[in-house]
Amino acid sequence: MIVTDPWFYITAVPAVLIYGIGKGGLGGALGIIAVPLMALVVSPTQAAAILLPILCVMDAFAVKQHYKNADYSVLRTMLPGSLLGVVLAGLFLSITPEAGLKLLIGSLSLLFCLQYVIKQGDAGEPAGKAGAWWWSGLGGFSSTAIHAGGGPASIYLLPLKLEKVTLIATMAVLFAIINLAKLVPYTLLGEFDTTNLMTAMILMPLAPVGVYLGVWLLHRVSQDVVYRLCYFFLFVSGLKLFVDSFSG
């Protein structure tokens, strides 16, 4: 059995492709739009559960393309906080009702839009070890909750002024590890039922398409236009989820 609502696929297909493009070459933060878009049709937890196996497939293609260019010293600094964030988010999801998740997703979406507006063109100064733990932990938490860890991770990574290919490669390896860790809480929460897994299988062929589109675009397209469009749609969907969390 799969999700049969056609509106779900109208939101899910572009969401998966955009996420893959981000993983492949335009930055992990691009995937921030995926769960809020899909959560307009299905519950936030179901949207996240359907996406996770697809993300793991994307990770395999993205890491294959980029692992040689990753900065592994940066990864060693970020991984402890990231994995702690995964654990905390798993505990949070186990006790939070759907209205609370809509409020969380809507709030985070709007906050990430605000961050994008405020930080645009200003990466700031590099953070110390405490900053690495904080932003990595928030990245692991928001990645587990709504598959949107790229925003917080970018706040730590961008001031390091890594070369563009190194930045994309480092994020690809980081979130490949985080997504594998997320399989544990999602399994314990019982989110991988037959419907979610079969729906993920239907969408999975889009995973390599999105990643390779991102790799192709890496040296050909300005990130600014793509990000502005995605953050606009993120704002609209995040605002709707925020409002919906107070209704019914």
Q: What is the pLDDT of residues 159-189, one digit of tens each?
A: 777 777 787 788 889 999 999 999 999 999 8
Are 159 and 124 in contact by the 8 Å Cβ rule? The answer is: yes
Identify the helix (H) or strand (E) that includes residue 58: helix 44-66
Q: What is the mean pLDDT of the chain?
A: 82
**Confidence at residue 229, expressed as pLDDT on a 0 to 100 scale:** 63
pLDDT at 230 over 70: no
Per-residue pLDDT tens digits for 12-66: 999 999 888 877 766 656 677 788 888 889 888 899 999 999 999 888 888 887 7
- Give the span between the Cα atoms of 235 and 100, in whole angstroms: 18
- For the entire predicted model, the pTM comes to 0.79
Of all residues in the chain, the percent with pLDDT exceeding 70 is 87
- Any residues with CB less than 8 A from the CB of 46 and at least 6 apart, and which? 191, 196
**SS3 assignment for 103-156:** HHHHHHHHHHHHHHHHHCCCCCCCCCHHHHHHHHHHHHHHHHHHCCCHHHHHHH
Are 132 and 155 in contact by the 8 Å Cβ rule? The answer is: no
- Give the span between the Cα atoms of 112 and 137, in whole angstroms: 16
Tell me, yes or no, whether 1 lies in a domain.
no
Q: How many domains does the chain have?
A: 1
Tell me, yes or no, whether 164 lies in a domain.
yes
Tell me, yes or no, whether 169 lies in a domain.
yes
Tell me, yes or no, whether 81 lies in a domain.
yes
Domain with 45, as residue range(s), is 6-244
- Give the span between the Cα atoms of 218 and 113, in whole angstroms: 23
Token code pair at residue 43:
């519950």
- Give the span between the Cα atoms of 161 and 125, in whole angstroms: 10
Query: Please, what sign has the CA dihedral across residues 132, 133, 136, 138?
Result: negative
pLDDT at 105 over 80: no
